[in-house]
Structure 1
Amino acid sequence: MNKPPSMVWLPADHRLMGDHGHQMPFLLLGDKYARAVKVGARAQPVMFPLASADQIDELLALVDGVMLTGSPSNVHPSHFDEPVADPSLPLDAERDQLTLALVRTCVREGVPLLGICRGFQEINVALGGTLYQQVQNVPGRMDHREPKGQPPDVQYAPRHPINLVPDSAFAEWAGGTEVQVNSLHGQGINRLADGLRALAHAPDGQIEAFEVLGARTFAYAVQFHPEWRCWENPFYSAIFEAFGRACRQRRSQRDPVPRATLTAQHDEP
């Protein structure tokens, strides 16, 4: 029997959908994130619908890694002691309630963790950092938002370079200290949380990637979107390959005895 694949937990977005005044709640996961885990990390993406913070320990025991995805919604600014700057922008309090606690548990328990865009921001906030709610309004910062109304190929095209810390994991994955990335975000890091180390910056100084210092396993996050057709981009692909290796390592530690051996032991008189 083939060995079961590593499993990666991708928390869902909570969103009201519908028309004609009949909106209903939906739990959503973007195809591009699940596909990047499946193809790029060679792992099985899984969801736990309606998971709550008090279930984190029992659910983490079933998986080999966690990926926090991007989302149209923003982290609620109350988590870093600010009022909402733009009430028209979407929020997702249910996701915040789960993911901020999930980050802290993954770091504490040594569970492989990859954050992308909103996930990058969630990790920073969960560990005590703060965000700019509107990077485009910060003096000296660029507008990092995608061109609205354009097809995905245009929105996810490379937008600007990032400078990578020499000898970092990201410099190794990129094969150098500068690489082009896409850019599709309004929020961004203001104060980096203690315990995080910035590993990449945009030309305007905005933090684009970090690592969790002292992590026992893969614990990285990026502001850009490497999940977009990661198999076509060597840098993006390398990020998911490294994440997948860490998940497989946890799988081997979590289930070290082959199931065939266990079956044989149970069959003994």
Structure 2
Amino acid sequence: MATNTRSGGLGFFDRLKTGWTLTKDSVGVIRDHPKLMIFPLLAAISSIFFLVLFFLPMVLAEFIGGGLEYVVLFVLYFVTTFFSTYFSAALVYASNEAFHGREPGIRSSMSAINDQLGPIVVWALISATVSILFRILENSDSPVAAIMRSLFALGWSIMTFFIVPVIVFEDVSTTEMFKKSGGTFKDTWGETLGAGFGITGIVLLFGVGFIVVALALSAVVATALPGVGIVLAIVFVAVAITFSYLLSQTIWGIAKTALYVYAQEGVKPDQFDNFDFETLGGRTEQKANTGSSRGPISGTFVDD
């Protein structure tokens, strides 16, 4: 069983090291199961589709005014949150399948998440409502509103950090869904956001590297064919940015699943042998989930 041996917070270089280890182990999972990147791709495609679909209604609503713009925004936030959560949940489920040595399937993972459409709808409604509140505070000229928005945004991020794994693995009420997510973050992974900066920074470096390579290849072509070189530069950079985004989202989904599984069950996936969960704020005792958990753990993990 995991025990908490950490004292004090993570320093800057500790965060980078933690982020690097989480990233490296998560990339190892992606290497073995590259199809996991399809879920963030589907989420991105759905978001772009609805943004394009709602562009004209949003323009008309802004022109008409009277609060209609908030109604259209609410619907847009709802549908984009619903589909992004749906595909994120499928990624969490598929990651857990990979942790247990099973081949994660695209259709089978989404089929499994179909049983959780109710909680996803509830979460999308609440998230859309909060997003509208953020927008109202953002449009306010009051400095008090700006402070409230910043504090609210921080608290909301903490409370909902593990909301998708909770939806996938737990059978709880709406209130318990938020308490479970926020409680997991607060009690066991308070440094996770700090480590997340490490993950974000490392993936950003990867992205910059991809873009530099893309521009270098385009420059070689441009020396002979300037027009073709410019087109290739645009295409290569777009591909590099897209790949970096998908890689980042997939890494986050895998890492968050591993963190949640360990936080709840005290065991870690074989793929994360390089990562010391305890120094990130591990648990002092195993939490009981009797009667409320669908059980992320069902396979062979290495007991920590």
Q: Shared topology, TM-score over 0.5? A: no
* Structure number with higher strand proportion: 1
| Bigger Rg over Cα | 2
State the structure with bigger RCO (CA 8 A, min sep 6), 1 or 2: 2
TM-score normalised according to structure 2 size: 0.27
* Structure number with higher helix proportion: 2
